[in-house]
Every structure is written in C-alpha cells, then in structure tokens.
Amino acid sequence: MTEREWRELPHLQREVKLLQGQLERLRRAQERWTMRRPCEGEMAQEEIGTEMRELERRLQATVREYLMRVEEGYAFLGEVEDSQMRQILNLRYLEGMSWQRVAFAIGEYDEQYPRKKCRRFWVKEEGRI
C-alpha cells in the first residue's frame, strides 16, 4: 500500500459508519413504506420498492468495497517488521490520532519523532514499489 492509500483509511472507516447509518434508515423507511401499501397505487409502490432495494444493494456493495480496503490496510500492517512502526501506522492511520497523541502513545514527547520515522518508512516503502 502507498502512503496515500493509508491516509484514506480513517476517512473510509468514517464513511463506512455513515453508510451503515444510511442503510439502517433506508431499512426503516422500507418497513414504514410496506405498512402503508394498501393505501397507495400498486404500480407506484412496486417501482418505489424496487428502487429502494436497488439503493440498498448499491450501499451494501460500497460498504463491502470500503471494508475490503480497510482490511488490506490491516494485512499490510501485519507485514511491517518494526513493532514501533506498526504502532505508529495503526495509531495514526487506522485510529486517526494526531501526531502529538501518537507520540505520547508510543512513549515519546515530541510529535516530530513519529512523523519523521513515518516519513522515512514511506520513502523506503515507495522505493520498493
């Protein structure tokens, strides 16, 4: 994975939560819609029901795609040999912590330390690609 892909991971995780919330609201709307069914025109109901199912299918596919990308990040993390680097990557990109919080979490007091170590790691990694 590249640094750019890693920078997307916290955003993808937040987007997955948003999409899951949308799916839940869509399911509740579908339930309410099916309760009103006898009062509405049958053709319009079928069309709306079909559109709602299609929207639900697309949202689920998007969630699956994003979760697969996050899982790729975890798989890549498992391949990193340096324990401290794994911690830095996990805290910064998967947990979304600031550099200052990452530094404190790994026992450092200067945010420059994990930031510089991470920069060196990505330069080395991108040299492999």
pLDDT digits (tens, 9 = 90+) for 22-61: 989 888 887 777 666 555 556 566 777 788 888 889 999 9
| pLDDT at residue number 42 | 60
Sort residue 125 into left (φ over 0), alpha (ψ -120 to 50) or beta: alpha
| pLDDT at residue number 45 | 66
| pLDDT at residue number 99 | 96
* DSSP H or E run through 91: none
| pLDDT at residue number 103 | 97
pLDDT, tens digit (0-9, with 9 covering 90-100), for 71-122 = 999 999 999 999 999 999 999 998 889 999 999 999 999 999 999 999 999 9
| pLDDT at residue number 80 | 94
Both structure tokens of 30: 């579908």
Residues 12, 94: contact at Cβ < 8 Å?
no
